[in-house]
Amino acid sequence: MYNARATLLEYEVMAAQTYHTVVDRIDILSYNVRCFRLRLVEPTRLPFEAGQFVIVHVPARTPPAGGVKRAYSIASPPHEEGVVEICLQHVDGGAASTFFRQLKAGSPVTLSGPHGNFVLKHPLTYEPIFMATGTGVAPLRSMIHHLFHLQVTQPVRLFFGCRYEHTTLFEAEFRTLASLRHNFQYIPIVSRPKEWQGEVGHVQEVFRKQITDFTNKEIYICGWLEVVKAVAHDLRAYGVPPEQIHYEEWG
């Protein structure tokens, strides 16, 4: 994250509410991504807007050395009170990855928040288009479920890109949602396919094929910063007005 925002975030972390949680469930989403469902213990409710994130306080491996803090988008929607879900991609040797790898049901996790301004634009009278790569789908999942909780009737689309077909996250969930909601379209895209029968390439390329009219649309992008910036650049080149493109500058 950029230095100015890092300083602001450090202040926000110090001022934010601290929450004590325990692991309720761990879901394996792919070979290196897990979703942790955390049940709030004290306080028992964490108000947030879909798209925001929390800071997980990772304890030090060897006291008295200080721990680290890591930001994770909330993958669950706001109406699921009493729990928050976060997605973690494992990084060999990473402090947070090492901490999360040893967690099990009932393990304590301390976090603070909520943080961030990557939230849905109001009023919700437009057609939202979501574009994600990897674990960047987490806050968009929260937004999508929140929209359907509000019973929106306009078209909602999710373009979800990944390298390999076995790394598509929440695949069964999104396909089920698309079968239940006539106004939800789920478009998974694989850039390095082997036996994949769906869309191939990058999210912005498939977007360009399917979306030609940008009227009354708002586009939300999330993923690794450099990828997100490249996608946003291409969308502007396609003619999407910059004010209709939303993403959070993480790096």
Give pLDDT, residue 93.
Answer: 84
Give pLDDT, residue 219.
Answer: 98
Asked if the peptide bond before residue 77 counts as cis, ω within 30 degrees of 0, the response is no
Region 147-163 average pLDDT? 96
Q: Burial, 16: exposed, middle or buried (Cβ in 10 Å; 0-12, 13-18, 19+)?
A: middle
- Are 3-115 and 127-246 in the same CATH fold? no
The domain made up of 127-246 has a fold known as Rossmann fold (3.40.50)
Q: For residue 160, what are its two tokens?
A: 């979800």
Region 218-234 average pLDDT? 95
Contact 81, 115 (CB under 8 A): no
Contact 136, 224 (CB under 8 A): yes
Region 121-147 average pLDDT? 97
| Rounded Cα–Cα distance for residues 54 and 114 (Å) | 5
Give pLDDT, residue 5.
Answer: 42
What ranges in 71-170 are assigned the alpha helix state H?
95-101, 137-149
* Confidence at 1, pLDDT banded by 50, 70, 90: very low
Does pTM top 0.95 for this prediction? Answer: no
pLDDT tens digit string along 172-193?
Answer: 999 999 999 999 999 999 988 8
Q: For residue 36, what are its two tokens?
A: 């942790």
Neighbours of 41 (CB within 10 A): 13
Which H helix or E strand runs over 189? strand 184-190
Counting every residue, how long is the chain? Answer: 251
Q: What pairing do the DSSP bridges indicate for beta strands 199-200 and 184-190? A: parallel
Q: What angle do CA 35, 107, 91 make, to 5 degrees?
A: 45
When the pLDDT of each residue in the chain is averaged and rounded to a whole number, the result is 90
**Which residue is listed with tokens 């961030």?**
116
* Confidence at 249, pLDDT banded by 50, 70, 90: low
Region 13-33 average pLDDT? 90
Percent of all residues in the chain with a pLDDT value above 70, rounded to a whole number: 90
* Confidence at 16, pLDDT banded by 50, 70, 90: confident
Give pLDDT, residue 63.
Answer: 53
pLDDT tens digit string along 156-173?
Answer: 999 999 988 888 999 999
| Rounded Cα–Cα distance for residues 194 and 50 (Å) | 34
Q: DSSP letter at 242?
A: G
| Rounded Cα–Cα distance for residues 96 and 90 (Å) | 8
Residue with more model confidence, 196 or 64? 196
pLDDT of residue 64 exceeding 90:
no
Nearest to 85 by CA among 24, 131, 145, 33: 24
For the chain, the structural domain boundaries read 3-115, 127-246
Give pLDDT, residue 22.
Answer: 98
Give pLDDT, residue 194.
Answer: 85
| Rounded Cα–Cα distance for residues 209 and 121 (Å) | 25
Please tell me the number of Cα atoms within 13 Å of 5 on its side-chain side. 10
CATH architecture group of domain 3-115: Beta Barrel (2.40)
pLDDT of residue 6 exceeding 80:
no
* Confidence at 60, pLDDT banded by 50, 70, 90: confident
